Structure 1
Amino acid sequence: MPNLTIFIQAENMPPEAYLSELTEECTRLCTDVLQATLDNVHVIYVSVRQGRGHPAYAEIRYRLEPLRTPSVMDAFTARLEVAIKRHTGLTARIRCFGYSPRAIYARN
């Protein structure tokens, strides 16, 4: 963790080069702002048929840590919003979900 999934309407999916740049920026945000270990960062893009809402939706799931305060998460989401807009041209709805380490069961 963190796992960042960005859902984008199929017809608005940007070219691979733009997604690569966005991946790099999202990775830096996770390692710099959230202080995540690089090996724990996952960035995933999902092409969707959307019925209603913003043309992009970003969801981040992360481990609750004392350093990830509300102000840190606010800064993270603000910078993520700018990055998504810069690399896709889309305004994304962004949601963050923090999990207690004791509530996470994982493999690999």
Structure 2
Amino acid sequence: DMSVSEGEREVQQQQQHLKVDYSKLYAKRRPDEPRSHYAQRLKFINELIRGMGDSLSDDRIDVLSNCYTNVKFLNNKYHPDIMEILEKYDPDVGSVINSRHSIAHWKTPTADHGQQQQAH
């Protein structure tokens, strides 16, 4: 599919300053991956490699970058160990997670027909 490789090349050129080996499987753009997600995932991979570098196998980088996408864009959650790594290398992830937590605790608004519902 041309559009994938075209978009992939474009993003890679924009992100040339990153120390990411684009021949690696984890650095390829996924078939259904929007360019903006791909660009952010590459930045995350770059930070990850800068921070943890030699201790990571390619498979591990692939898994973590997958988790990253799923947490940041799809609201998934993983084992705390993984969440910690994701947050460390993209602080945004932390605020995304925290904002979702706080939403859960808000009182659901109810239609106001003159009688206030009592919160229990």
- State the TM-score, normalized to the length of structure 2: 0.29
Which one has a larger percent strand, Structure 1 or Structure 2? 1
Q: Considering Cα pairs closer than 8 Å and 6+ residues apart, tell me whether 1 or 2 has the greater RCO.
A: 1
- State the TM-score, normalized to the length of structure 1: 0.31
Which one has a larger percent helix, Structure 1 or Structure 2? 2
